[in-house]
Structures are given as C-alpha cells and as structure tokens.
Amino acid sequence: MSQPTTQLTEALMKKLQPESFVLLNTVDAESGGPTSSIVSWIYPVNESTLRLAIDHRSRLVVNLKRNPLASVTVFCNEQVIAISGRAEVRQNPLDGVPFDMCCFDIHVEFVRDALFHGIQLASSPEFIKIYDEQAAEKLDGQVLAAMRKA
C-alpha cells in the first residue's frame, strides 16, 4: 500500500478474520492521552467498517464512548497498516454472550502504511492461548456469532 486510502484492501479484509489480533488505539477517558490495547474480536463488515467486541470491564469501552476517535494497527503481509476512524456503539450489551460486552463499529476514514520508507516487516506477531483451549474456542464462537447478528 503506497498511497493512503479510505477503504480496506482485500488483503486487509482477509487478514482481519477471526484469530487475528490488532492494536486498538484510543484516547484515554481519564488522562486524555493516547492508549493502546491488543484486541482479537474484530472483523471487517465491509471495505469501510470494522466491527469489534470489547468486554465491559475494559477501559476501552469508556474511552470509545467518550471520544470515538480510534485507530487500529494491523500487522499484514510485511506491512504495518494504520486504520483510523470513528467508533460508534453497534449493540450494548452484545446479545448471546455469557458476560457483558459492547459491540462497536469503526467507520474507516483513513488507511495508510505505518512503516517508514525502506523497510518491511520481517514477520507478523503471533500469539498462543495459555488458557483452556476448548473454552476459548466456544467463547470465540459465541462472540463472533453475536457480532455478526448485531
């Protein structure tokens, strides 16, 4: 991606499928400063909208409700892509999950390559689950199904 754009590319949409994780950058509701957190319940609704679910216990819910400006950092195909936009509550609480979650849509305003000129990502970050894998798969399925219905 050499030129900034206002829509997600096909490669980004493919990367942003279940089991990927991204950095969600928000404006902290208390300090007013930037903050970053890793989230994994995120997927593209279409070329101009990302949908994510966040546990109500997370500060991110309050951050996005107070200030909808957000960016999502994606590690994709030797690139680091920054997606900026505005979040709005899609469903609160999210139906069909075993604990309170808030579902947000981020309306994409800007997509750009976040790496400096002349470099590329050598490898994408990977993660492993260190808790009950069956319980994690069940919860992931419940949350993603609820997000698609929202």
Q: Which two tokens stand for residue 119?
A: 């470099």
The predicted structure's pLDDT at residue 76: 83
Q: How far is 18 from 145, CA to CA, in rounded Å?
A: 11
Is the separation of the CB atoms in 103 and 91 below 8 Å? Answer: yes
**In whole angstroms, what is the distance from residue 83 CA to residue 22 CA?**
11
* Residue 1 DSSP class: -
How many Å apart are CA 55 and CA 101, to the nearest integer? 4
Burial group, residue 50, by CB count within 10 angstroms (0-12, 13-18, 19+): buried
Cβ pair 8, 47 in contact under 8 A:
yes
pTM: 0.91
Tens digit of pLDDT per residue, the chain (150 long)? 567 899 999 989 998 986 788 999 999 999 999 999 999 999 999 999 999 999 999 999 999 999 999 999 999 878 999 999 999 999 999 999 999 999 999 999 999 999 988 998 888 888 777 888 888 889 999 999 999 999
pLDDT value for 100: 95
Radius of gyration of the chain, Cα coordinates, nearest whole angstrom: 15
7 by DSSP, 3-state: which?
coil
Q: Which amino acid is at 115?
A: L
